[in-house]
Amino acid sequence: MTTARAAADPIESWRSLSATHAAVHAALDAELRREHGLSAVEFEVLECIAACGDKVRMQELSGGVHLTQSTCSRVVARLEEEGLARRATCDNDRRGIFATVTEAGRERLAEATPSYRRVITEKLSG
């Protein structure tokens, strides 16, 4: 289907967008795993925590990275096992859990960010 026709048909536009997202995500995942030992989702979780001032409520984090709370919790648990993130209860609301980035997490994020940007630029330019 041509680009003009896809733009005129919202279903085709959605399919095109979805296919592009899948291709970019797969390329990101492969590159980040190979070069930095992170999945694309792990990178995006670290990036979101860091963008929130190195501390964010888990509920807000899951919304920011478009994951269910359960999936987000599992990702943060993996990052915690690797020493890249930590979870802590909120001081004024014991039910609330915060995710924070460790120094090792900030370093890994800084190392991986150029690869992340490069892959996205290459795939969307191509």
Average pLDDT, the chain: 92
Nearest to 80 by CA among 40, 30, 45, 28: 45
Amino acid identity at 64? G
Is residue 28 in some structural domain? no
- For the range 37-40, what are the long-range contacts, defined as Cβ-Cβ under 8 Å and sequence gap of 24 or more? 37/82, 37/108, 38/108, 38/112
Number of domains into which the chain is organized = 1
* Domain hosting residue 69, numbered range: 38-125
Structure-model confidence comparison of residues 69 and 96, the more confident one:
69
Tell me the C-alpha distance between 8 and 35, whole Å.
40
SS3 55: strand
Answer whether 56's CB lies under 8 Å from 45's CB: no
Is residue 69 in some structural domain? yes
Is residue 44 in some structural domain? yes
Per-residue model confidence (pLDDT) at position 62:
96
Q: Record the pTM.
A: 0.88
The DSSP symbol for 1 reads -
84-120, pLDDT tens digit by residue?
999 988 777 667 899 999 999 999 999 999 999 999 9
13-35, pLDDT tens digit by residue?
999 999 999 999 999 999 999 99
Is residue 26 in some structural domain? no
Is residue 110 in some structural domain? yes
